[in-house]
Amino acid sequence: MTSRADDDPAAGHARTLLRTATRYSGSRCAALCLVSIAATGAGLLLPAVLGRALDLLLAHAPATRWVLCCAGLVLLLGLLDAVQTVLTGTVDARTTAWLRRRLTGHVLGVGPRAADRFGSGDLVARLVGNAAEAGTTPAARAALVAALAGPLGGVVALGLIDWWLAAVFLAGAPVLALLLRAVSRDTSESAARYQRAQGRIAAALAEAVEGVRTVRAAGTEGRETARVLRPLPDLCRAGHGMWRVQGRAAARAVAVAPLLQLAVVAVAGVLLTRGRLSVGEVLAASRYAVLATGVGVLVGRLAGLARARTAARRLGEVEAEPATAFGTRRLPDGPGRLELRGVTARRGGRTVLDGVDLDVPGGTTLAVVGRSGAGKSLLAALAGRLADPDAGEVLLDGVPLRELHHDDLRGAVGYAFARPALLGGTIGQAIGLGLPCPSPGRIREAARTALADDFVRRLPDGYDTAVADAPRSGGESQRLGLARAFAHGGRLLVLDDALSSLDTVTERHITDALFGDGPGATRLLVAHRGATAACADAVAWLDGGRVRAVGRHEELWRLAEYRAVFGEGTAPADTGDGDVPPVSDTRGGHGEGRDGVSGRMRPAAAAGEGTAS
């Protein structure tokens, strides 16, 4: 028989999360439980002491000691309540912080796949709102023990006064039990719908904020607002559902609890007339009946716990997404040869890359070109294991990336993106991100190579300027991203459309430095411009998820379909017979090296055939 965790992985991960979170604040949870139980115990003693004091006063006997005991119990209850409030807030804060740290680390370990599945906005909602709600679980459980102890202690106290009182109360107890069970079940269902609607709103809002300039330029603020708030009716219905559940529970409690209290008091009155109870005991019995029917407290505790468990399940869904596992193998010495063998990758049920074979010799540059949606960025992600293929394998210097140790892989592969995220407190820290000991000289040299040094020096504090205080254009952000990749070093450099926002002069200078003479890292370049592709040693042409051809840009340019990738239907008139592209070899004298690389590159199809592999 399979366990519940096997049947529902998200629920299993949620239970594990909550157990571990409770252990993390175990000592404080234990202290909170003890304080809550002590407060409940003092609350249970107070009616008995009050009853005893009343009997003594009615009998005109000395009652000072009992009155002082009543005052002491009241003061103790106030003190314990204050300590309970502080401990509850502390446990909630610690648990929430722990959940956020753990889930944030897990999301980063999963990588881009997490955002692809859940959406960045929904992930933020889970890590912020749902983590805060789930973080109340340990304290709620500790308080629930005390909340249960109150009614149970009340029933026991009624039995100690007279067994008839306990019997009358227990006759109606099953109704209260059914009421509490219904509250827990119905609240969980409503809370799940509410939190899902919150996640959809957060996801749509994140998309709108990211594209705010586009929205403003298109004048579609109203339409975008309506899109973001489209789940609002679902959120409203779910919220009203939770209130209705608690409202019905309160109404039933108001109907049932007073009847039980009245029955207990009535029986106590009968016993008083028969001389079996004193006036003080009747007073105590009436207070214990109230404690025993404390459904309101239990309803609130159970409803809060149900919402917290539902939030924890949403966190469990994130944790159920497996993190990227790394191997233990170390990279041997090598030039950075990159191989893709039968690589197939699917996204959203669609095969984006289908049986791709590529062999990029160490120290050479391969440009990857193709129409939008051909899989260029996915191939770039696979090359450095930002994503894993569904079939086939990717190797670096003969070692499958899945088997590489994390530090070796990340130290060997550097990335630059079209829209780099500049992380770190300062510009210098953003460029040196990921380096164990980034030296100022290395950072400045990388910035000079990326033509970023001049504008960085013009900032108020130069390389010590806070990233948030550094105004920059899209091209300047790209140059900082390139500088980070150059500072990283490594044997494989992957540029995923990292030159797209640069002007042609800046791009020319950077490509001169990137593809210059002499040995260097292997470079995989996603290119959208013919001039950029012409600088590479060879070009891999992706079409329909397959490698259509591998060859030099000049050779592939003879094909009209290849020219169409760059928006060129036919060759320009100034190219003579149309066999030579209208771009120059910006590296000067490096064409022979490009010819040599073409001979070593394993093509998926001959460059001149133009047929799918």
Indicate if 444 and 480 belong to the same structural domain. yes
Give the range among 4-8, 331-335, 409-413, 518-522 with minimum mean pLDDT.
Answer: 4-8
Label the pairing between strands 538-543 and 546-551: antiparallel
Question: Looking at the domain assignment, is residue 51 inside a domain?
Answer: yes
What pLDDT band is residue 69 in, cutting at 50, 70 and 90?
very high
95, pLDDT greater than 90: yes
pLDDT score recorded for residue 70: 92
Indicate if 391 and 312 belong to the same structural domain. no
pLDDT score recorded for residue 182: 66
Q: Compute how many other C-beta atoms are within 10 angstroms of the C-beta atom of residue 517.
A: 10
CATH code, domain with 89? 1.20.1560.10
Indicate if 309 and 346 belong to the same structural domain. no
Indicate if 299 and 414 belong to the same structural domain. no
pLDDT score recorded for residue 184: 61
Q: Are 278 and 131 in contact (CB under 8 A)?
A: no
Residue 521 or 571, more confident = 521
Task: Tell me how many domains the chain contains.
Answer: 2
Question: Looking at the domain assignment, is residue 453 inside a domain?
Answer: yes
603, pLDDT greater than 90: no
What pLDDT band is residue 7 in, cutting at 50, 70 and 90?
low
158, pLDDT greater than 50: yes
H-state helical runs in 489-602? 504-514, 530-534, 553-556, 560-565, 591-600
pLDDT score recorded for residue 608: 38
Average pLDDT over residues 92-96: 93
pLDDT score recorded for residue 183: 64
Taking the mean position of all CA atoms in its chain, how far away is CA 7? 23
pLDDT score recorded for residue 610: 35
pLDDT score recorded for residue 399: 93
CATH code, domain with 357? 3.40.50.300
Query: How far is Cα 224 from Cα 485, in angstroms, rounded to an integer?
Result: 36
Q: CA distances (Å), 226 to each of 171, 218, 301, 497, in order? A: 54, 15, 36, 33
Query: How far is Cα 354 from Cα 343, in angstroms, rounded to an integer?
Result: 7
76, pLDDT greater than 90: yes
Indicate if 475 and 549 belong to the same structural domain. yes
Query: How far is Cα 188 from Cα 303, in angstroms, rounded to an integer?
Result: 8
Q: CA distances (Å), 7 to each of 1, 26, 318, 474, in order? A: 10, 29, 16, 48
What pLDDT band is residue 189 in, cutting at 50, 70 and 90?
confident
pLDDT score recorded for residue 101: 93
Can you give 125-184 as a three-state secondary structure string?
A: HHHHHHHHHHCCHHHHHHHHHHHHHHHHHHHHHHHHHCHHHHHHHHHHHHHHHHHHHHHH
pLDDT score recorded for residue 177: 67
Average pLDDT over residues 216-224: 79
DSSP class of residue 329?
A: B
What pLDDT band is residue 249 in, cutting at 50, 70 and 90?
low
Average pLDDT over residues 190-208: 79
Residue that terminates a domain, selected from 550, 566, 582: 566
Indicate if 433 and 305 belong to the same structural domain. no
Which of 4-18, 41-55, 146-160 is predicted most confidently?
Answer: 41-55
Query: How far is Cα 165 from Cα 155, in angstroms, rounded to an integer?
Result: 8
Residue 584 or 412, more confident = 412
Indicate if 371 and 513 belong to the same structural domain. yes
Write out the two tokens for 476.
């300047």
pLDDT score recorded for residue 599: 36
Residue 49 or 490, more confident = 49
Angle between helices 137-161 and 295-320 (to 10 degrees): 150
pLDDT score recorded for residue 594: 41
Indicate if 398 and 508 belong to the same structural domain. yes
Question: Looking at the domain assignment, is residue 576 inside a domain?
Answer: no
Indicate if 401 and 535 belong to the same structural domain. yes
pLDDT per position as a tens digit, 304-322:
888 888 889 989 999 988 8
pLDDT score recorded for residue 449: 87
Indicate if 379 and 504 belong to the same structural domain. yes
| CA nearest neighbour of 99 among 125, 141, 139, 128 | 128
368, pLDDT greater than 90: yes
Residue 81 or 469, more confident = 81
pLDDT per position as a tens digit, 345-363:
988 788 999 999 999 999 8
Question: Looking at the domain assignment, is residue 572 inside a domain?
Answer: no
What does pLDDT average to over the chain?
A: 81
Residue that terminates a domain, selected from 545, 566, 587: 566
570, pLDDT greater than 80: no
196, pLDDT greater than 70: yes
β-pair partners for 367: 525, 539
Question: Looking at the domain assignment, is residue 129 inside a domain?
Answer: yes
Question: Looking at the domain assignment, is residue 142 inside a domain?
Answer: yes
Domain containing 508: what range? Answer: 338-566
pLDDT score recorded for residue 232: 84
Residue that terminates a domain, selected from 526, 545, 566: 566
Percent of the chain scored above 70 by pLDDT?
85
Question: Looking at the domain assignment, is residue 587 inside a domain?
Answer: no
Q: Compute how many other C-beta atoms are within 10 angstroms of the C-beta atom of residue 312.
A: 27
Question: Looking at the domain assignment, is residue 310 inside a domain?
Answer: yes
Indicate if 456 and 318 belong to the same structural domain. no
H-state helical runs in 326-449? 376-383, 406-412, 427-431, 440-449
Residue 434 or 428, more confident = 428
Indicate if 481 and 555 belong to the same structural domain. yes
Taking the mean position of all CA atoms in its chain, how far away is CA 411? 25
344, pLDDT greater than 90: yes
